[in-house]
Amino acid sequence: MKLSDQYHKWVEWSEEDQVYIGMCPDMITGIHGDDPLQVYKELCEVVEDVVSHFESERHSLPAPCIRPMQKVA
């Protein structure tokens, strides 16, 4: 597993902005575009870049805190 895999990432439609918005609250926000698959791909790339930057600067990565909601039976 890559370090970036521990961070929850998702894409959702913004009715207000009329675009898809990709989010990874533990690391970054603000990736957006018209194609949800492209937005997710770019989001993953940016998160990977942030992890690489933290490692190259010898900074500690933020602890992953955001988790997907689970259905309650």
**What is the predicted pLDDT for the residue at 40?**
97
Give the pLDDT score at 29: 72
Give the chain as a 3 state SS string: CCHHHHCCCEEEEECCCCEEEEEECCCEEEEEECCHHHHHHHHHHHHHHHHHHHHHCCCCCCCCCCCCCCCCC
- Give the model confidence (pLDDT) of 54-66 as tens digits: 999 999 999 988 7
Question: What's the pLDDT tens digit per position in 4-53?
Answer: 999 999 999 999 999 999 999 998 777 999 999 999 999 999 999 999 99
**Which is more confident, 60 or 72?**
60
Average pLDDT of the segment spanning 64-72: 70
pTM, 2 dp: 0.84
